[in-house]
Amino acid sequence: MLLQPAKIPAKTDFVELVYNVLVDAIIDGTLTPGERITQEEIAEQLHVSRSPVLQALRLLKKDGLIEDAPGRGVQVTPLDSAWVGHLYEVRGALDALAARLAIQAGAKLDPGLIVRGRVAAKSGDLKQIIDADTDFHNAIYAAAGNPLIAEAANNYWIHLRRVMGAVHRWASQRSTIWDEHEAIVQAINAGDMARAVSLTEHHIGSAKASLIRQLDDQLAMAEQV
């Protein structure tokens, strides 16, 4: 584990700094599922005291990104395919609802979301890819006009980003992902509710199946090592 934070500004909330660095490390795989985490090592690498590290770890534990390790201490929460399936079921319901409400509101989504997404996909940069995907779905939540959808969805995005990061490290993205996104944008902008909802449900269902399959494959490989 080697944590590399950006340059620390003069006035810094060190709890937020440590939290964000650890979240990024969990998403990009610097901290792997099941890896033990020690306050001392984190504090030393980030050049902060143990107090903000302890507070950040408490927040991460509350978020479900870390858990008590066997014996003592904490570890990165292992990925579980059944839990990922449940996560995508909730996401699918929220995305379909958001698509319906966006059309009812007469919303028009920016086609530039697709352009930026395709650029990100070609870049191979994990953070850029995940950010583009997040931006796409958040745009639909915003277009729905119901702030509770975004609020509910954003409670799970940190876990979705982690799963997306894990699978992208193991295998290339589904090649059709931004084609699917573009079709959803076109359906919403055309006011075609049935098609928009159908495409959204298919998109989330395909993502769920792909993620679980790749996750199970990788976990099986890890057990054989």
Taking only the tens place, the pLDDT of each residue in 176-216 is 889 999 999 999 999 999 999 999 999 999 888 888 888 78
Q: Distance of alpha carbon 52 from its chain centroid, rounded?
A: 24
- Quote the pLDDT of residue 9: 52
Rounded distance between C-alpha atoms, residue 142 and residue 134, angstroms? 12
pTM: 0.82
Q: DSSP readout, 55-80?
A: HHHHHHHHHTSEEEPSSSSEEEPPP-
User: Percent of the chain scored above 90 by pLDDT?
Assistant: 59
Work out the angle at residue 108's Cα, subtended by the Cα atoms of residues 181 and 106, and round it to the nearest 5 degrees: 120
Helix (H, G, I), strand (E, B) or coil at 169: helix
At a CB cut-off of 8 Å and minimum separation 6, what does 51 contact? none
Over 60: is that where the pLDDT of 173 sits? no
Query: What Cα–Cα distance (Å) separates residue 59 from each residue in 14, 15, 65, 174, 213?
Result: 13, 9, 9, 32, 30
Token look-up 């290339």 returns 172
User: Percent of the chain scored above 70 by pLDDT?
Assistant: 88
Comparing CA positions, the residue from 24, 14, 131, 6 lying closest to residue 76 is: 24
Q: Residue 9 has what DSSP assignment?
A: P
Comparing CA positions, the residue from 199, 161, 195, 163 lying closest to residue 181 is: 199
- Quote the pLDDT of residue 213: 86
Mean pLDDT over each residue of the chain, to the nearest integer: 88
